[in-house]
Structures are given as structure tokens and as C-alpha cells.
Copies of this chain bind each other. A is one copy, B any other.
């Protein structure tokens, strides 16, 4: 149980390090009969890929995915699907100076204490680069869920540092490097990022992610509640420090008269619950938000110690994003898809079929961030 496998029935086992020969994953449990090729997966990887704007790391990786197994004549066979992504831009010289010191905010200290050694090249296993195979596996899950139930996933940035990004429309998300659902704010966000980069500093971000067209009845009571598994999936993304379902921390000050979503013949009248009641999906949209901490690698010097325990100072000179949250949206969508995929299979194992909503479920309020 060393934690490199996600899911119980749609099991994704991730391997690789930032600067090793390759990264990838093995998906065991994909249903047979799904049409699948690299062309179904590559576009999602491209959404997550570095080097696509001046606001994200300039590491130049094509992140080209290859399917090594589990597909015959363009169709999944029910056997494990291995996805392989070769690391082509390794430039490990950038990281040579950090071998002996612990960068504040990074996993250097904890890996070294846990294992007694660590792979320092680009953060090794703790690099956000390892989210690429998750996005790849997520693309497989998304395709199956879309074809079976019409489930779709989408997300947007709702706050960057102290700038809130009001929701205007999903159509804007693909038109800017921030995954912002707002066309008018982009200039302000770009100036903010440029100033941060100049100052050698970084900020956090808030991301909202949703699933629509969700079957009713997914999730297991008690421990493997759908929302508990979503929290596990999203908190496990690098740099995430908070997860909310539905109204999230807003529920603390809500009243019961206001919170409980009423039902009518037309479905639910509101979606404070975020699509989950008692750990089981209601058929409404699943809504979750995450908080992402500021990038830990910054140009400004910070105090630290070396492996011998002596004081030192850490500065980062390599290429880094002033906000790791910028590329988090497709990752969060992928993780949400993996959770729903796994629970769809778990549900049909025990209950034999998957339930679509009987009544139309009323649309929820527009997202407010």
C-alpha cells in the first residue's frame, strides 16, 4: 500500500519520476469494448502541458502518450491499459544545487526523512509532472462516462491570489491561459502574473470543478462516500490545501432552513449539497472547489538547513510558474472523472445497473466561486 494506485475497480497505477526515462500509468479494470486511441487522450494532456503560455513553466515537453497494451484494433479488450510518456527535456543540471538542501514548502525534507534518500532531479516523484498520467487516465474515464451516461467535466479558476474572478460563462475558459470563465479579467490577471514574476514571488489560486450528467446513486455509505473520495482525490493533487463540496465552508454560517435542498416534481430546487447527499450522488451536478498554495520555488531567498542540519539559504534559479494553480484545472477535472468512473463500476457490481435521474434535475445557481 505505497499509494501509487488510485481507485478500487478502475485502478490506475502511476509510475515515474520527473527526470527519469519515462512516466506513465497502468489502468486495470477498464470495461471492454470502448473505442480508444492516443487521439482520445492527447488533447487532455495538451491542456495540462507546460510551455503553452509565458505564465507557466517553460519546460518544453511534448508529453506524447503511447498506449502499450489493452487495446486491440482500436477497442479496449478489458485487460490493463499501459500509458507511457517519455521524458524528453530532462535538463537535470538545473537542479544540481538542491541535492543537499531542503527547499521550504517542498517535499525534499520529508522524502529524505521517510526513505533515507531521495531523487533530487526536478523533485523526482514529488514533481507535479506526475499529474500527466492522471490526466491521461482521466481521459479514458471521461470517454467511457460520456458514452455511457453523457457525463461531462469542466472547471475554471475562480480566484488568483487576491483577485476574485467572477463567473461569466464556460465558453471563456478555453480562450485564456488561466482557465478563467471571464473574458474581461484576463488583462488584469496577466499584469498581476507579470509583476509577480518580476518580484520573484508567487501566489495561490482557487479552482472550481464540476461534473454534469451524473448518474444517481454513485458512492458508498460510510467511508467511501462519493464526497469523501472526491476530497481524497483533489487533496492529493500537488499543492492543494483545501477542498469544498457544494457550498463548502459557506455552510458554517448557513441555517438549516436555507441549506437543505428542496425537491419537487422538477427535481431539486437548489444545489447547496453539491450533488451529494449521504455520500451518494443525487443526479445533480457535482460541484467542488480547491485551494492551491503559492508555488514554493521562488527566486526570493528563504532560510533552510542542509542534510547535516546546518543553516543555509535556498534560492531557485530554474524555470518555475509563479502560480502552480494555473495548470490545475484539467488535473482536477481528471481526478473527479476517475472518482466517478470508479464509483460507477462499484455501483453496478453491487446494484447491477446504473440509474439515470428520473426527473429532470433543476439547474443549480451559476457558480459564484
Whether B113 lies near A222 (C-beta < 8 A) is: no
Min Cβ gap A221→B in Å is 5
Distance A8 CA – B293 CA, assembled complex (angstroms): 29
Distance A230 CA – B68 CA, assembled complex (angstroms): 30
Tell me which residues across on chain B come within 8 A of A255, comparing CB atoms.
161, 201-203, 294
Asked if A78 meets B241 with Cβ closer than 8 Å, knowing A217-B110, A278-B110, the reply is: no
CB-CB nearest 6 A-B residue pairs: A107-B278, A3-B220, A3-B224, A105-B260, A202-B256, A228-B236
Tell me which residues across on chain B come within 8 A of A125, comparing CB atoms.
77, 79, 221-222
User: How many chain A residues touch the partner (CB < 8 A)?
Assistant: 154
Distance A107 CA – B279 CA, assembled complex (angstroms): 8
For A28, give its contact among B13, B117, B218, B233 (CB under 8 Å). Answer: B13
Tell me which residues across on chain B come within 8 A of A16, comparing CB atoms.
68-69, 80, 82
Sample 17 A-B pairs with CB under 8 A, ordered by A number: A2-B80, A2-B350, A15-B28, A17-B79, A75-B117, A77-B119, A103-B260, A106-B278, A109-B277, A110-B216, A110-B277, A114-B216, A161-B255, A224-B236, A242-B248, A256-B300, A262-B304
Min Cβ gap A4→B in Å is 4
Distance A222 CA – B276 CA, assembled complex (angstroms): 26
Min Cβ gap A319→B in Å is 15
A18-26, A36-44, A51-59: which lies at the interface: A18-26
Distance A355 CA – B297 CA, assembled complex (angstroms): 27
> Is there a chain B Cβ closer than 8 Å to A303's Cβ?
yes
Distance A140 CA – B259 CA, assembled complex (angstroms): 36
> Is there a chain B Cβ closer than 8 Å to A265's Cβ?
yes
Tell me which residues across on chain B come within 8 A of A29, comparing CB atoms.
1-2, 349-350
Tell me which residues across on chain B come within 8 A of A111, comparing CB atoms.
221, 278, 280
Closest to A324 in B: B256
Closest to A206 in B: B252
Contact string, A249-265, partner B, CB cutoff 8 A, digits 1/0?
11111111111111111
A residues 103-155 touching B (CB-CB < 8 Å):
103-107, 109-111, 113-119, 121, 124-126, 130
For A9, give its contact among B1, B6, B81, B257 (CB under 8 Å). Answer: B1
Closest to A295 in B: B256
Other contacts beyond A29-B350, A235-B243: 10, CB < 8 A: A1-B220, A5-B28, A15-B80, A23-B69, A24-B82, A26-B26, A29-B349, A109-B263, A263-B305, A346-B349
Tell me which residues across on chain B come within 8 A of A283, comparing CB atoms.
113
> Is there a chain B Cβ closer than 8 Å to A50's Cβ?
no
> Is there a chain B Cβ closer than 8 Å to A102's Cβ?
yes
